Amino acid sequence: MPSISNPGTFAERTQKSPREVGGGFVGGLRARDPFNGGGLMGVIARYREHLPIGPNTPEVDLHEGSTPLVESRNIARALGLKQLFFKYEGVNPTGSFKDRGMVVAVAKALEAGHRVLMCASTGNTSASMAAYAARTGVRAIVVVPSGEIALNKLSQALMYGAKVVAIKGGFDKALETVRELCHRYPVALMNSINPHRIEGQKTAAYEVIDTLGEAPDYLLLPVGNAGNITAYWKGFREYHAAGRSTRLPRMVGAQADGAAPIVTGQPVANPRTVASAIRIGNPASWEGATSARDESGGAIEAVTDTEIISAQIRLAGSEGLFCEPASAAPLALLFRLVQSGRIEKEATAVVVLTGSGLKDPDAALKNVEPPIELEGDARTLAKVLKL
Ligand SMILES: Cc1ncc(COP(=O)(O)O)c(C=O)c1O
């Protein structure tokens, strides 16, 4: 069987041309709710029959999911890659993919009678949990690594009314503390070790297939605590088993060089990377990630911070898609894998852009031209701009 280190060609593996697989469907299927002025359906309404939702599960919805699968115009051409898509999760209600799993986890926590929700977070989980807690009128407590989360994410949690506690010791310590508290007190644990989070997040894989009409050859995404790669792989396998796709994609995970426990096979005591969302040294869903990698014939590899920031800037500047640093890691890895011939040019690849660039613009801004400060009139400006 071909693997990512020895890939067969697209045609060898699928017996179909990329156009047969992907053509015609792209961008066509956004789930709209006829009872809500044609607005987007939330994850639970759209995929209810695939989720652990029963008659007693309360309705929770911020119109999350149904995010666009944007076809690359410029990067694919520059790489010579036939089909490249970006699953733009930054347009979810709180700006990241976390809303998909959180809506299901909150609904299930309410169903179980919980009134207090808690999570450890590198930022996005806390923003998402706090939003759904605000919406449903329950208490939200978030524990974040002190001084390590992007200000915009912190401001979201605070604005949604969560109690935010910053503790020293990084994300892994925060999660350990939260696990202990949730074990001792009647508090619902909302991290992705909560299986309902994985259930909701797997719907992104369904959407990729619903839009393309088939699974892609490669699905690339960042790996931090490893819940999302676990969820995507579950979603792809379920849709495949249900006959909604004829094949499974290779799962390709990207970690950052200074926070690459799965790549090296060792927990990292002091993870370091500019991509704070994946600054995690001991992923809770480690096994889920390695299963996804091994069962799919994929790979999990590390990229440098320089590669991450340069991919982030290139994506924004050549596709008009602004993602946060963690989300640019798989794109940086794609560059490497295509350039080294490990991903074949006839392949269909989907890169998951997990969070909006507005979440954490600081690192990238240090690497782009600052605004021009000018005193003067239109003539002076025209001169400076060489119009
Ligand atoms: C933007 C973003 N990308 C990627 C990840 C990593 O996802 P996971 O922890 O499920 O591997 C996170 C997690 O916080 C995130 O916020």
Which of the listed residues 89, 97, 191, 323 should we mutate to test ligand 1's pocket, taking the one with most ligand atoms within 8 A of CB?
97
At 152, the amino acid letter reads N
Could you tell me if residue 382 is inside a domain? no
Distance CA(85)–CA(71), nearest Å, equals 4
Is the domain of 250 the same as that of 275?
A: yes
Residue 131 resides in a domain: yes
Same domain for 190 and 57, yes or no, is: no
Contact assessment for residue 176 and residue 285, using Cβ atoms and an 8 Å cutoff: no
Residue bearing the CA closest to ligand 1, atom 7:
224
Ligand 1: atom nearest CA of 89 is 1
Question: Are 39 and 68 part of one and the same domain?
Answer: yes
| Angle made by CA atoms 7, 18, 77, in degrees to the nearest 5 | 85
| Ligand 1 atom nearest 227 alpha carbon | 10
Distance 323 CA to ligand 1 centre (A): 12
Query: How many angstroms does the Cα of residue 136 sit away from the middle of ligand 1?
Result: 24
**In tens digits, what is the pLDDT along the chain, a chain of 387 residues?**
344 655 443 334 433 333 333 332 333 345 665 555 556 789 999 999 999 999 999 999 999 999 999 999 999 999 999 999 999 999 999 999 999 999 999 999 999 999 999 999 999 999 999 999 999 999 999 999 999 888 999 999 999 999 999 999 999 999 999 999 999 999 999 999 999 999 999 999 999 999 999 999 999 999 999 999 999 999 999 999 999 999 999 999 999 999 999 999 999 999 999 999 999 999 999 999 999 999 999 999 999 999 999 999 999 999 999 999 999 999 999 999 999 999 999 999 999 999 999 999 888 888 899 999 998 899 999 999 999
Q: Residue 377 domain-assigned?
A: no
Q: What is the pLDDT of residue 363?
A: 82
* CATH value at residue 303: 3.40.50.1100
Residue pair 180/186 in contact by the 8 Å Cβ criterion:
no
Domain termination site, one of 180, 195, 210: 195
Same structural domain, 226 and 269:
yes
Q: How many residues does the chain have?
A: 387
Return d(Cα 314, Cα 332) in angstroms, integer: 10
CA distance 249 to 105: 26
d(CA 160, CA 85): 32
Within this chain, do residues 210 and 86 fall inside the same structural domain, yes or no? yes
Question: How far is residue 103's CA from residue 106's CA, in Å, rounded to a whole number?
Answer: 5
Determine if ligand 1 sits within 6 Å of the CB of residue 327. yes
Helices 98-111, 124-136: crossing angle, 10 deg rounding: 40
Helix ranges, the chain (H): 10-14, 18-22, 43-47, 75-79, 98-111, 124-136, 151-159, 170-184, 195-201, 203-212, 227-241, 261-264, 286-296, 305-319, 325-339, 362-365, 378-384
Residue 32 confidence (pLDDT): 62
State which of 169, 195, 221 marks the end of a domain.
Answer: 195
Specify the number of domains making up the chain.
2
Residue 21 lies in a domain: yes
- 159-200 pLDDT tens trace: 999 999 999 999 999 999 999 999 999 999 999 999 999 999
- Token code pair at residue 294: 């091994």
Domain boundary among 173, 195, 217: 195
Decide whether any atom of ligand 1 lies within 6 Å of the 324 Cβ: yes
In-domain check, residue 374: no
What ligand 1 atom has the least distance to the C-alpha of 359? 1
**387 lies in some domain:** no
383 alpha carbon – ligand 1 mean position (Å): 45
CB-ligand 1 contact for 230 (6 Å cutoff): no
Ligand 1 centroid distance, CA of 124 (Å): 8
Dump pLDDT digits (tens) for 298-355. 999 999 999 999 999 999 999 999 999 999 999 999 999 999 999 999 999 999 999 9
Is there a domain that residue 386 lies in?
A: no
Same-domain status, 79 and 208: yes
Asked if 65 and 89 sit in the same domain, the reply is yes
Sorted by sequence, the CB contacts under 8 Å of residue 257 that are 6+ apart come out as 273, 302, 303, 304, 305
Query: What DSSP assignment string belongs to 240-273?
Result: HHTTS-SS-PEEEEEEETTB-HHHHTS--SS---
Whether the CA torsion 299, 247, 44, 57 is positive or negative: it is: negative
Domain that holds residue 333: 10-96+196-361
Q: What is the pLDDT of residue 376?
A: 87
The reply to whether 240 and 176 lie within a common domain is no
Task: Give the residue whose CA is nearest to atom 6 of ligand 1.
Answer: 224
Q: How far is CA 304 from CA 60, 236, 332, 386, in A?
A: 39, 29, 9, 36
Asked if 219 and 350 sit in the same domain, the reply is yes
Residue in 124, 125, 331 to alter for ligand 1 test, most ligand atoms within 8 A of Cβ:
124
CB 364 less than 6 A from any atom of ligand 1: no
**Confidence at residue 37, expressed as pLDDT on a 0 to 100 scale:** 57
Centre of ligand 1 to C-alpha 123, Å, is 9
Q: Do 159 and 295 share a domain, yes or no?
A: no
Q: Which residues pair with 124 in a beta bridge?
A: none
Residue 383 belongs to some domain of the structure: no
Claim to verify: residue 90 and residue 200 sit in the same structural domain: yes
Are 213 and 129 in the same domain? no
Closest C-alpha to ligand 1, atom 1? 355
